[in-house]
């Protein structure tokens, strides 16, 4: 693996790996004089490297390393592609102390391709050389990439080059640069290369496996936005529902969430506050109509109405056409509503707060209109916009063929929170099901690709369920020792201050209570298999899944209604 990264090395001399010491002039000189070779795929504009000593990591919320500071060589590279105007910024951190011989590329989130410092701290603290890139989306640090405005040129057209960067090109470029910087600084190549990312970063990982199957020995791509052209407009569905019916206060949504957990919690045999079998959940929001809930934000009690229940039902159900046909998955049973169906109270009036990435997708990628009024989108208009979105296939990663990645020896590990409202886990299991059919069945897929579902866990972390403690270590053991993970250990803190743990199951198996302490992972086993979809792909815009209201299993196929939107100028050309 990682043998396709071609660059000129003939003039370089392999030397011993340097051991850093604070203030070491020789080490600082080596760092600040790093030279990179010529690259065929892009043009380097500038390389700047400097020594960093005593960088504090104590404020990093995901920190697990024992040390409070790190020392590293910081390599900043700006580059451009032939025929493109944009400048791509890439950052590589090379640890001075105890480099573990590995490279870790990192991804982004939302509409940003990378997070730089916050993404690189933990890998370097763990001994990895690591890299991050903005894919050119910050427009040379003049805008916030996450706002999405980069998707349009000044003339209001889709920025094909930046979208291509965002889709797959820049992770590869950053990896090529990272490997070259490692060679220049340490005098040797990394013995293994890994990728880590979640959400958009998860999508980037899947695309890396598809487009550059030899870049990484192992890819950890969590909560991946695999079907981005469907996920992104689907994330805006709750706003459309509330705009067209009613916007409930969050206290009402919290009541629906709590009631869902109460009803569907027991499906795994244990009343532990976690829904492990959402496909068996048949909660009906109408059962709460007429109940009164305390509502702090309204400074009063609120009676749940039929309209409130209708809104909750449609959000749980997920995006639909005006004829009721399935478009995308809804809020997972037991997940909080406030991510995509957020509201706030201003002077006694309930106002809708759209999810920023979903709103930006509708404005910039779909309507291509920064001034689109997203507060007055009818169900008819949403359907039209949704089908326009399907033509942005470059950002989809639903190709169920990873043969090249498998043949190169790569391993792909994904874990996904089952209370993730932004990117719902059935999209990931749908992809697994499609891959299983395409690539020879479960055993064949298990050899290189494994998915783990985490009950009660939200987007990438958080929520109320046990979170995987060190999934990257499991991936490294799989890649380097051949120890394929059958479970992932996960834990969180209980309300009483103790620990709740689970051994997350290798999909399609699921957790089942066998008796004992509800907080102890050993009280649960992995058994049975979740039902896998029996869907068929009949056309490029059709999709099948084991989905109906509240994740009950059935086989639903979207009709080719989207075809009526062809020829309207929405298809992106020239990307593939």
User: So what's the pLDDT on residue 395?
Assistant: 76
Note the pLDDT tens digit of each residue in 399-424: 899 999 999 999 999 999 999 999 99
Q: Is residue 60 part of a domain?
A: yes
Q: Which of 129, 155, 190 is the last residue of a domain?
A: 190
Query: What b/e readout covers 56-91, taking b as 16+ CB neighbours within 10 angstroms?
Result: ebeeeeeeeeeeeebbbbbbebbbbbeebebbbbbb
pLDDT digits (tens, 9 = 90+) for 443-465: 999 999 999 999 999 999 999 99
d(CA 576, CA 572): 10
Residue 10: pLDDT above 70?
Answer: no
From the number of C-beta atoms within 10 Å of its C-beta (0-12, 13-18, 19+), residue 446 rates as middle
Same domain assignment for residues 257 and 327 = yes
Spatial separation of the C-alpha atoms in residues 435 and 429, rounded to whole Å: 10
Quick: pLDDT tens for 111-144: 999 999 999 999 999 999 999 999 999 999 999 9
Same domain assignment for residues 279 and 167: no
C-alpha distances in Å from residue 292, one per residue of 283, 295, 305: 18, 9, 10
- Determine, yes or no, domain membership for 561: yes
Q: With beta carbons less than 8 A apart as the criterion, state whether 65 and 126 touch.
A: yes
Domain boundary among 133, 164, 190: 190
Is residue 542 predicted with pLDDT exceeding 90? no
Report d(CA 94, CA 46) in Å as an integer.
18
208 domain residue, yes or no: no
Which of 17, 9, 509 has its CA nearest to residue 268?
A: 509
Burial (CB < 10 A; 0-12, 13-18, 19+), residue 294, is exposed
Tokens of 439: 């690539």
pLDDT at 568: 35
* Average pLDDT value over all residues in the chain: 87
pLDDT band at 24 (very low <50, low <70, confident <90, very high): low
**283 and 162 in one domain?**
no
User: pLDDT band at residue 538, thresholds of 50, 70 and 90?
Assistant: very low
My answer on whether 329 and 277 are in the same domain is: yes
* pTM across the whole model: 0.89
Average pLDDT over residues 252-262: 98
The residue among 161, 190, 219 that closes a domain is 190
Side-chain half-sphere CA neighbours of 410 within 13 A: 31
133 and 246 belong to one structural domain: no
pLDDT digits over 79-91, tens only? 999 988 889 999 9
User: Is 208:404 a contact under the CB 8 Å cutoff?
Assistant: no
The pLDDT of residue 268 is 82
Tell me the pairing of strands 88-95 and 102-106.
unpaired
Tell whether 482 is covered by a domain: no
pLDDT at 25: 65
Could you tell me if 284 and 146 lie in one domain? no
Alpha helices for 265-375 (secondary structure H): 306-317, 356-360
Q: Are residue 147 and residue 6 in the same domain, yes or no? A: yes
Q: Rounded distance, CA 447 to CA 411, Å? A: 8
Same domain, 32 and 125: yes
pLDDT at 61 over 50: no
**Phi, psi angles (nearest 5°) of residue 302:** -130, 135
Instruction: Give domain status of residue 342, yes or no.
Output: yes
Q: Give percent above pLDDT 90 in the chain.
A: 78
Residue-level pLDDT at 64 = 52
Stretch 481-497: mean pLDDT: 93
- Which has more pLDDT, 57 or 74? 74
* Structural domain includes residue 291: yes
- Domain around 348: 233-393+546-565
- Three-class secondary structure of residue 478 per DSSP: helix
Read off the tokens for 267: 């499906």
Q: Is the pLDDT of residue 2 over 80?
A: no
Query: Is the domain of 182 the same as that of 104?
Result: yes
The answer to whether residues 254 and 182 belong to one domain is: no
pLDDT, one tens digit per residue, over 205-221 is: 999 999 999 999 999 99
Indicate the pLDDT class of residue 524, thresholds 50, 70 and 90. very high
The pLDDT of residue 347 is above 70:
yes
- Please state the domain count of the chain: 2
**Do both 31 and 174 map to the same domain?**
yes
pLDDT tens, position by position, 271-319? 999 999 999 999 999 999 999 999 999 999 999 999 999 999 999 999 9
Residue 456 CB burial class (10 angstroms; 0-12, 13-18, ≥19) = buried
Does residue 45 lie within any of the structural domains?
yes
Judge whether 558 lies within some domain: yes
Mean pLDDT over residues 36-59, rounded?
A: 91
Q: Do 349 and 268 sit in the same domain of this protein?
A: yes
């Amino acid at each position: 693996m990682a043998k396709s990264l071609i660059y000129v090395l003939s003039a370089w001399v392999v030397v011993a790996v340097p051991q850093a010491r604070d203030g070491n002039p020789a080490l600082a000189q080596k760092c600040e004089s790093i030279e990179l070779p010529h690259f065929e795929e892009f043009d380097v504009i500038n390389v700047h490297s400097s020594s960093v000593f005593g960088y504090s990591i104590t404020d990093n919320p995901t920190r697990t390393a024992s040390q409070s500071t790190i020392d590293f060589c910081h390599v900043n590279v700006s580059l451009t592609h032939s025929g493109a105007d944009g400048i791509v910024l890439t950052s590589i951190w090379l640890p001075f102390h105890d480099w573990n011989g590995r490279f870790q590329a990192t991804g982004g989130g939302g509409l940003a391709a990378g997070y730089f410092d916050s993404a690189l701290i933990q890998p370097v603290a763990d001994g990895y050389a690591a890299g991050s890139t903005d894919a050119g989306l910050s427009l040379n640090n003049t805008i916030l990439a996450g706002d999405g405005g980069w998707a349009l040129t000044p003339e209001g057209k889709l920025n094909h080059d930046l979208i291509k960067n965002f889709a797959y090109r820049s992770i590869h470029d950053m990896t090529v640069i990272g490997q070259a910087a490692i060679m220049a600084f340490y005098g040797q190549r990394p013995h293994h290369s890994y990728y880590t990312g979640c959400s958009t970063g998860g999508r980037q990982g899947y695309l890396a496996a598809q487009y550059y199957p030899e870049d990484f020995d192992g890819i950890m791509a969590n909560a991946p936005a695999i079907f981005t052209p469907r996920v992104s407009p689907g994330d805006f569905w709750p706003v459309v529902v509330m705009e067209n019916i009613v916007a409930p206060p969050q206290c009402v949504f919290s009541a629906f969430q709590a009631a869902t957990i109460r009803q569907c919690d027991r499906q795994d045999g244990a009343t532990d506050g976690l829904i492990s079998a959402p496909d068996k959940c048949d909660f009906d929001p109408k059962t709460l109509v007429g109940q009164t809930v305390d509502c702090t934000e309204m400074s009063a009690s609120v009676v749940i109405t039929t309209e409130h229940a209708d809104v909750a039902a449609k959000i749980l159900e997920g995006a639909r056409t005006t004829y009721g046909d399935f478009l995308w998955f809804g809020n997972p049973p037991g997940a909080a509503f406030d991510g995509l169906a957020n509201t706030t109270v201003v002077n006694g009036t309930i106002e809708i707060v759209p999810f920023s990435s979903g709103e930006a997708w509708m404005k910039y990628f779909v309507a291509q209109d920064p001034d689109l009024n997203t507060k007055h989108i009818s169900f008819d208009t949403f359907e039209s916009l949704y089908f326009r979105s399907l033509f942005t296939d470059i950002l989809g990663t639903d190709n169920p063929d990873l043969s090249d990645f498998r043949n190169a020896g790569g391993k792909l590990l994904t874990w996904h929170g089952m209370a993730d409202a932004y990117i719902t886990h059935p999209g990931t299991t749908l992809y697994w099901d499609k891959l299983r059919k395409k690539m020879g069945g479960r055993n064949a897929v298990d050899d290189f690709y494994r998915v783990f579902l985490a009950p009660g866990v939200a987007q990438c972390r958080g929520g109320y369920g046990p979170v995987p403690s060190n999934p990257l270590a499991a991936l490294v053991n799989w890649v380097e020792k051949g120890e394929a993970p059958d479970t992932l250990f996960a834990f969180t803190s209980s309300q009483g201050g103790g620990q709740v743990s689970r051994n997350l199951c290798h999909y399609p198996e699921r957790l089942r209570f066998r008796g004992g302490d509800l907080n102890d992972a050993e009280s649960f086993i992995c058994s049975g298999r979740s039902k896998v979809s029996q869907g068929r792909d009949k056309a490029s815009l059709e999709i099948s899944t084991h989905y109906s209201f509240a994740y009950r299993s059935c086989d639903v196929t979207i009709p080719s209604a989207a075809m009526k939107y062809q020829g309207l100028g929405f298809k992106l050309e020239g990307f593939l």
